A = this chain, B = another copy of it.
Amino acid sequence: MIFLANDYNHGAHVAILDALRETNGESYPGYGKDIWCERAAAAIKKHLNCPEAEVHFFEGGTQTNVTVIAAALRPYESVLSPDSGHINTHETGAVEHAGHKIEALPATDGKITAKQIMAAATAFNEATAPEHITEPKMVYISQPTEYGTLYSLAELEEIRQVCDAYNLFLFIDGARLAYALTSPACDMTLADLARLTDVFYIGGTKCGALLGEAAVIINPLLKPHFRNCIKQNNGLMAKGWLLGLQFYTLFKDDLYFTINAPANTYAEKIKQAFQKKGIMPYIDSPTNQQFFVLTEAQISKLATNFAFEISNKIDANHKLVRFCTTWSTTADEVEELSRAVAAL
């Protein structure tokens, strides 16, 4: 069985296991006040062109999203999100549990536009009775999106302009950021994200780490007491150095980019295999997630040897499926899938 159902099905890159073993005899202070978190932050900040950025490490994505949002917003403020956004669809109402309304904007291929954001912000500003509604104060988007698509640098810059004009925080969920930054279709760098966002996070769990996400805070308004917020939102890891060590390992020699780039190449090969067979991608994703609409028969056939994600029904006989490559995916696995697709 070849596993292409998601990008969190494997342990960690071997360099990370090695680092864990090498440091296993040492003692470290708790809660992220250690040398590895410090080094990891420094290694990440080399890419940012933003010396005053703060880096905080989390165990997982939902935790990061909720903490950033709960730390940034006052109770009457809301967060704008694509309706397909992870916080709106896959986090069991965790943002609402923390007290905040998500204002979901209809997404196209997982993305929202500067224009949509402006319209939402304007609606509040022009409301005759603004005390009856929540005030949009943050924009949450993902890069790449839940559908594997990318915001272009121009799109992000437009969004930034709207955020500046309407005094909104821009928060980018980078759970799969490695697959964005190493995609040939991507025209931005970490430094661009540092320049354009107020806060973003660099995904580890899906990009070579055992677990962990690195939140990068750019806007000074978001810094005070952020560690209290992490703790309050159940995310301050006792052995914080385990997260720092992993990110240091991924960033000291750019492993983060080199080990994840092939996943995009493999994803492209999967896309081509389906296209050759006449099955066009459901969404044109330039990253590690590929979506297709398959018949039940095609699904059954492929399911004998491959694990992939079967999501919602399209019609009586068709379903949307996702094939997902990751840092651990091999050329052989993709070859085998291509052959299987050709034989459909």
Residues of chain A having any CB pair with chain B under 8 Å: 1, 3, 5-6, 8-12, 14, 17, 20-21, 23-31, 59-63, 66-67, 70-71, 74-76, 78, 89-94, 96-102, 104, 128-135, 205-206, 210-211, 225, 227-239, 242, 307, 310-311, 328
Q: How far is the CA of A66 from the CA of B227 in the complex (A)?
A: 17
B12 touches A24 (CB 8 A): yes
With contact pairs A70-B75, A211-B242 given, residues A228 and B29 touching in the complex (Cβ less than 8 Å): no
Query: Known pairs A27-B328, A76-B232. 9 more at Cβ < 8 A?
Result: A9-B27, A9-B28, A9-B239, A17-B24, A27-B307, A75-B98, A76-B225, A97-B232, A131-B228
Identity of the chain B residue whose Cβ is nearest the Cβ of A243 in the assembled complex = B211
A26 touches B6 (CB 8 A): no
Q: Give the residue among A27, A128, A311 with the most B Cβ atoms within 10 A.
A: A27
Contacting residues, chain B, for A328 (C-beta < 8 A): 27
With contact pairs A24-B11, A30-B9, A75-B97 given, residues A211 and B238 touching in the complex (Cβ less than 8 Å): yes
Identity of the chain B residue whose Cβ is nearest the Cβ of A10 in the assembled complex = B27
Identity of the chain B residue whose Cβ is nearest the Cβ of A86 in the assembled complex = B132
B225 touches A211 (CB 8 A): no
Contacting residues, chain B, for A210 (C-beta < 8 A): 20, 239, 242
Q: How far is the CA of A3 from the CA of B62 in the complex (A)?
A: 33
Which of B6, B90, B99, B129 makes the CB contact (< 8 A) with A132? B90
Identity of the chain B residue whose Cβ is nearest the Cβ of A238 in the assembled complex = B8
Give the copy number.
Answer: 4
Smallest CB separation, A117 vs chain B (Å): 18
Q: How far is the CA of A236 from the CA of B90 in the complex (A)?
A: 11
Q: How far is the CA of A98 from the CA of B233 in the complex (A)?
A: 9
Which of B24, B93, B239 makes the CB contact (< 8 A) with A232? B93
B225 touches A237 (CB 8 A): no
B62 touches A227 (CB 8 A): no
3 closest residue pairs by CB, A with B: A3-B27, A93-B101, A11-B24
Contacting residues, chain B, for A234 (C-beta < 8 A): 60, 62-63, 66-67, 94, 233-235
B94 touches A100 (CB 8 A): no
Q: How far is the CA of A67 from the CA of B24 in the complex (A)?
A: 30
Identity of the chain B residue whose Cβ is nearest the Cβ of A61 in the assembled complex = B238
Q: How far is the CA of A133 from the CA of B233 in the complex (A)?
A: 12
Q: How far is the CA of A94 from the CA of B101 in the complex (A)?
A: 9
Which of B1, B74, B225, B229 makes the CB contact (< 8 A) with A225? B74
